[in-house]
Structure 1
Amino acid sequence: MSEFKALLVSETADGSFQRQVTQRRLSDLADGELLIRVRYSSLNYKDALSASGNRGVTKQYPHTPGIDAGGVVEASSVGEFAVGDEVIVTGYDLGMNTAGGFGQYIRVPAAWAIKRPQGLSLREAMLLGTAGLTAALCVDKLERAGVAPQDGLVLVTGATGGVGSVAVMLLKKLGYRVAAATGKADQADFLRSLGADEIVTREELQQGVERPLLKERWAAAVDTVGGDILFNVVKSLRHSGSVACCGLTAGVAFQASVLPFILRGVNLLGVDSVELPLVVKASMWDKLSLQWKLDLEPLAQEVALEALPTAIEQILAGGMVGRVVVRLD
C-alpha cells in the first residue's frame, strides 16, 4: 500500500488551522528504520495542542499528530525487529515534529520502539498510552521516595483526565487511600467508581494561594495540572511527603516559597515520560502488563480516525473524561 489515511493539520492563508482526515503517501513519511502499520493510538492533551497549531509542540505544518502508536512492523532495516512484530511507540518526537499515530502508518527510528509486552494487547497498551505510562512513572517515583500506603491519603489532581484517572486506579490497586481532585463536580460518582475514597473540588485546592504554608493534609500527591494548585499541594503535604509533578493545564508558573521544603522536608518530584531512556520505558511497560495491570475499560472511549476532530475539540474545551483510544483499521 502506497497510500493511507491520516489526520492532517494544515495552516490556512489567514493563519488558522484546519483538521481533516485525508490520504497520504508512504513517501510523505520521514526516514526511519521501522515502518509500522498503526492499529491503535490514543488522544492526549499534547495531541490536541499540536492539532491546534501550537508551535511549542509542533514547529512545522502540515502535520499528523499522535504521540502514541501501537501497531505491527511492516518493514525493518535492523535485526532487533522483524516484519510482523507488534510494537509500542510513545514519546520522543513522535507526533510532535515526526508524523504520528493519527495516521495508519508511521516510520520511526528503532530506538523509539519496544515490543508489545505479552500481558497487554495493542488496544490495552494504547488505552494506557503516554497518559498511563506517565501515571505509572509518577506512582513509581513516589514509592522510590519512600511513600507507602500506610502513610495516609494520596491526592490526585486533574483526576478525570487521562493521567489522573489511571493514577487513581493504580494507587487504589496498590492499597492507597486516594483523594481525587477535579473541577467537574458531575464526575464524582465516576471517580468513586475508579477507587477514589474522597472527592476534592478544584476551588478547595485554589484556596490559600497567598499563604506560605497550609494545614498538613496529604501524605503524597500526583499533580497533573501545575500552576498555583501545584504549590498549594506542596504547602499541604505532611512532613517528608512528596508530590510527583507531570502536567501544566493550570499553568507553568506558581508563587513559590521555600518554607514547605525547609520546615516540612517535602519533595517536589518532576516526571517526564517523553525522553526517558527506552530501557526505563520498557521496564515500566512490563510492570503495567504484570503486577500493575489494570482493567481500563471503565475509562475507555473508542473512536475511529474520522471522529478525531470532534474529540480534539472536546479535550480542548476541558470536556474529556478518561481515555480515548483511536482505532485506525
Structure 2
Amino acid sequence: MSHVPPRGRLRALVAGLATAVLAAASIAWAGTAQAEADRTLTSNLTGYHNGYFFSYWKDSGNVTMRLGAGGSYSVQMSGINNFVGGKGWKPGSAHTVNYSGSFNPNGNGYLALYGWTTNPLIEYYVVEDFGSYNPSSGTTSLGSVTTDGSTYDLYRTQRVNQPSIIGTATFYQYWSVRRNHRTSGTITTANHFSAWARSGLTLGTHDYQIMATEGYQSNASSSITVSEGSGGGTTPTDPTTPSPGGCTATLSAGENWSDRYNLNVAVSGSNTWTVTMNVPSPQKISATWNTTASWDSSGQIMTARPNGNGNNFGVTIMKNGSTTWPSVSCSAS
C-alpha cells in the first residue's frame, strides 16, 4: 500500500527578520499542501490521494487511471482482460455515498460501489450501471430492495480459486443490481447491507470500498467524482418488510433448476394469516405445498392461507425467462 509521504519539517530557529519571513513562507506552503497534484497510474497500486483511498487493479491490458481533485478520478482502458479501480474509503462501511460523472462501457463493464470484507471473505457490488452484460445473468434472484429511486435485484455468485485481496481464494460475491441505470446519484449503502442480511448473505470485517469502474474484455472509460453523503438516505422496501397486518412473511431460496425454482415462505407473528404473493410476469406458480392457495383472474397474484401444516409453506415458480422473485405481504385474521 502506498501512503502520502510526510511533509518535511522546518529547520532550526532563524534569528530576527529571517525567522518571520521563513515562517510566513511555511504557512503559505502548508495552506496549499492539502490538495495533491493529479496523479496518473498505469499499473497495480493502492493508496491514498486527496483524502480518499484508491485502488487500481488489472490482470492485463492498457489502463490509464488519473487521480484528480478530491474524490475525482478518470479511467481510459483498451485491450484489457479485467480491470477494476476507483476512489473511496478504507475501511468501508454503511456510508451514504454521493457520486456523479460519466461512464461509457464499450462492451462489458460496470459502474458500481465495490468492496471487500474478510472473515468471511466477500466481494460485493452495488451496480448502478452496466454495459452489454448483466452481471445477474444465469444466477438465481434472492429477492429485491427498493431504495434511492429504483429497485435493485439481489444475487449471490461464487468465485473458485480466483484473485482476491488475500491472494488466490474461493469466495462469494454479493450483488445489488439497479434496474434503472444511472451515472449519478446517492447510494444508501446501509439499505443494501440490510437487504443482503435478510437474504442470509453475511458480510465480514470491512476492508476497502470504492466507487469503481470495471471493465472485462472491453474498452470502457469513465470520469467519476465520489463523496461522503449526509443523512440516512431513503428507507428501503423489500420482500421481507414486516406488513402492518400483524404478521410477517419472509422468503428464502429453495431448489433451483433451469426452468423453475422453489421458494420457501416463513410466516411469523400469527397462526391465522393470509399471505398475498405477487408473481412478476411472465413467471407462473406451478405448485404449492403446506398451504391452501387461490389466484386472481390474471394468475399472477396468489392468496395463501394455513391448511393445518404450520406456518411455513412453499411454491414452485416456472421462470419463463425471468428470475425476479415475487413480492409478499401478510395480514393476520
- Confirm or deny a common fold (TM above 0.5): no
Query: TM-score, structure 1 length as denominator?
Result: 0.24
> Higher strand proportion, which one?
2
Max radius of gyration: which structure? 2
Query: TM-score, structure 2 length as denominator?
Result: 0.24
> Higher helix proportion, which one?
1
